[in-house]
């Protein structure tokens, strides 16, 4: 989970992440992101749940957010401290 959004993904050949999808932290509904705003500070992406209305607004385009999340997932998986094991114990199914 990053930024109160549950992220799920699949693996392609050679361990590459693909099909990275956001889900609502509160009700586990898949979220379809929308452009939140484009202003002098750049673009924001709106992750609002259609079911419960939970909203998270993140800096950058959806593609930029996906890139950042993907790098954080890879970092946790490579971490010598085994951060991913802590995440699974803490959040259980939300990290599948």
Per-residue pLDDT, 77 = 81
10 versus 81: which is more confidently predicted?
10
Q: Taking the model in full, what pTM does it have?
A: 0.77
Average pLDDT for the chain: 84
Residue 93 has pLDDT above 70, yes or no: no
Q: How far apart are CA 28 and CA 9, in angstroms?
A: 14
Q: How far apart are CA 76 and CA 19, in angstroms?
A: 18
Q: What is the mean pLDDT of residues 22-40?
A: 91
- Residue 70 · residue 64 · CB < 8 Å: no
Domain ranges of the chain: 5-88
54 versus 84: which is more confidently predicted?
54
Residue 11 has pLDDT above 80, yes or no: yes
Q: What is the mean pLDDT of residues 10-28?
A: 88
Per-residue pLDDT, 96 = 42
């Amino acid at each position: 989970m990053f930024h109160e959004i549950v992220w799920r993904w699949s693996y392609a050949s050679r361990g590459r992440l693909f099909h990275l999808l956001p889900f609502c932290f509160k009700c586990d509904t898949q979220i379809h992101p929308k452009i939140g705003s484009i202003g002098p500070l750049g673009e924001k992406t709106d992750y609002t749940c259609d079911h419960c209305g939970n909203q998270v607004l993140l800096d950058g385009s959806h593609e930029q957010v996906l890139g950042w999340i993907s790098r954080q997932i890879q970092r946790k998986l490579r971490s010598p401290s085994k951060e991913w094991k802590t995440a699974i114990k803490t959040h259980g199914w939300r990290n599948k």
